[in-house]
Amino acid sequence: MRRDFLQVSGENFVRNGEKVFLRGFAIGSWMNLEHFMMGMPGTDEMMKEAFTEVYGAENSRRFFNDLVDAFVTEDDLAYLKSMGLNMVRLPFNYHWFLSDDAPGVYLENGFERLDRVLAYCRQYDLMAVLDLHSTPGGQNPDWHSDNPTGQSLFWKYKCFQTQMVDLWREIARRYADDPIIAGYDILNEPAFGLTAEQFNGFYDAVIAAIREVDADHIIFLEGDDFGRKFELFHEPQDPQLAYAVHYYPFVYESGVLDPDMPDEERFRIFDEIFYRQLRARERFHRPIWCGECGLEHHPDIELYNRMMAYVLGLCEKNNVSWTLWSYKDARTMSIVMPKEDSAWMRFTGRIAARWGHHRETAQSEETLRHAIDSYFEPISDEQFYEIEFRMRSIFHRLAVETVLKKELRATPWEEMREMPKDFLFQNCDRYDHIADCIRGFIAAKENE
């Protein structure tokens, strides 16, 4: 066991002989754009293709390189450290490290940008979990896996899986001796309808590939159904395995965000959903890391703070480490965001007049129901759930063609090229009440 590494010891994480709670933020949309967080429709690849069509390939590359560079700087890591946090989760799209046109050729452009942020992590002693958020074909059918089809084709084509096994081997080879890496989050939110053979077969292949070059780092495994179910896992075969859950109670029960709901009922629902997701510990007696939990912005700040404190307390009293989603975005569920009057917010504000994530989802569901009612026989709720992702992918494409590209064409390149600067920490606003809530919670825990 490497004492200077984060390690698994029974149901705990330890480092330098002491128990550790992972407490941090994920830096979503940094190396994997998410539409509702950035204020633009489409998947990561769709957005970049739209920029390339309107501004040209070289300008598009420059824009997204500049955006990644501005999104996370030393100032951001210093701010995270000031809250008492000890880690960050770094989600990435495989496109930053591997080209579809040249399998097996790794892209130094992505590694250079990852290395820059890891250097800041070392400077502020913030451990980093590396998170594969998007795979070829999509490990789940939704936008956040950069999926253009609404089908989880990653699980259908072995060549896609082999690419990601090889990518993880290369990542582990480069960072095998780096103690600032807390571990490898192998696959964000896999889903759904998988067999145990598919599920464990991929994970086992990745674990074996990593262990060829890295004997020590923790490997985090997320469950089926977007990281919420653990029935498919076989017994852990590696001493440095831990399990990751994602916890968004408002996704199951949107009513918990209603200010008129009594807290007693609200938190009863929080508990019910949370305890469902501890089955991995009951079966395997390994540490649990809540790799994502968080809330969309809420106008009732006192209610938001109560919910945040309750979620963090729920994790810690159950010996579950936590990472909040997400640190920075265009004013959706972050604590740092471009100023309201910034060029980026004016640009995305014009888009918001014609497109929005929740609006798009409702329209997609309505369209599919109309098609079923008008032309087909009824289908089960499970079938509707699966097929609606495919319908939603059509809406992604339509919104890119009719909203995003139109707005890009109306925005001169001379203006667009400067917009990444709006994401620089010194140019951003902050929700200090969230930072204060987190800071106070951690300080109280440290003083117990």
DSSP letters spanning 244-274: EEEE-HHHH-GGGG-TTS-HHHHHHHHHHHH
CA angle 47, 421, 46 (to 5 degrees): 5
pTM (2 d.p.): 0.97
How far, in Å, CA of 360 to CA of 199, rounded? Answer: 31
Residues of the chain above pLDDT 70, percent? 100
pLDDT digit string (tens) for 295-322? 888 899 999 999 999 999 999 999 999 9
Residue identified by tokens 């265009």 is: 330
Angle subtended by helix axes 432-446 and 74-82, to nearest 10: 50
What's the pLDDT at 276? 85
DSSP structural state of residue 99: -
The whole-number average pLDDT for the span 327-338 is 96
Q: For the chain, how many residues are written?
A: 448
Q: Identify each DSSP E strand in 104-177 by its residue range.
A: 127-134
How far, in Å, CA of 355 to CA of 395, rounded? Answer: 10
How far, in Å, CA of 402 to CA of 407, rounded? Answer: 9
pLDDT digit string (tens) for 259-291? 999 999 999 999 999 998 887 778 899 999 999
pLDDT digit string (tens) for 80-100? 999 999 999 999 999 999 999
Domains within the chain, CATH numbers bracketed: 7-446 (3.20.20.80)
Termini Cα distance of the chain = 29
Closest CA relative to residue 135, chosen from 106, 170, 181, 100: 100
- Looking at the predicted structure, is the pLDDT value of residue 163 above 90? yes
How far, in Å, CA of 244 to CA of 129, rounded? Answer: 11
Cα→Cα distances 266→67, 259, 277, 323, 364, Å: 38, 10, 18, 21, 29
- Looking at the predicted structure, is the pLDDT value of residue 62 above 90? yes
Q: Which residues contact 432 (CB under 8 A, 6 or more apart)?
A: none
Closest CA relative to residue 150, chosen from 159, 158, 141, 137: 141
What's the pLDDT at 126? 98
Mean of the per-residue pLDDT values for the chain?
96
β-pairing, 288-293 vs 241-247, is parallel
pLDDT-based confidence at residue 345 (cuts at 50, 70, 90): very high
The whole-number average pLDDT for the span 377-404 is 97
Cα→Cα distances 219→84, 93, 96, 185, Å: 24, 18, 21, 6
The whole-number average pLDDT for the span 16-29 is 97
CB 359 within 8 A of CB 58: no
Dihedrals phi, psi of 111, to nearest 5 degrees: -65, -35
Using only C-alpha atoms, what is the Rg of the chain? 21
Dihedrals phi, psi of 410, to nearest 5 degrees: -85, -5
Residues of the chain above pLDDT 90, percent? 92
How far, in Å, CA of 143 to CA of 133, rounded? Answer: 11
Q: How many CB atoms lie within 10 A of CB 383?
A: 11
pLDDT-based confidence at residue 19 (cuts at 50, 70, 90): very high
Closest CA relative to residue 326, chosen from 260, 421, 423, 229: 423
How far, in Å, CA of 62 to CA of 226, rounded? Answer: 33
Cis peptide before 326 (omega within 30 of 0): yes
Closest CA relative to residue 167, chosen from 93, 61, 88: 93
Dihedrals phi, psi of 106, to nearest 5 degrees: -95, 145
Helix (H) or strand (E) holding 444: helix 432-446
What's the pLDDT at 377? 97
CB 327 within 8 A of CB 336: yes
Q: How many CB atoms lie within 10 A of CB 409?
A: 12
pLDDT-based confidence at residue 229 (cuts at 50, 70, 90): confident
What's the pLDDT at 72? 98
Residue identified by tokens 């890119």 is: 400
CA angle 126, 127, 130 (to 5 degrees): 130
Task: State both tokens at 143.
Answer: 């936008």
- Looking at the predicted structure, is the pLDDT value of residue 340 above 80? yes
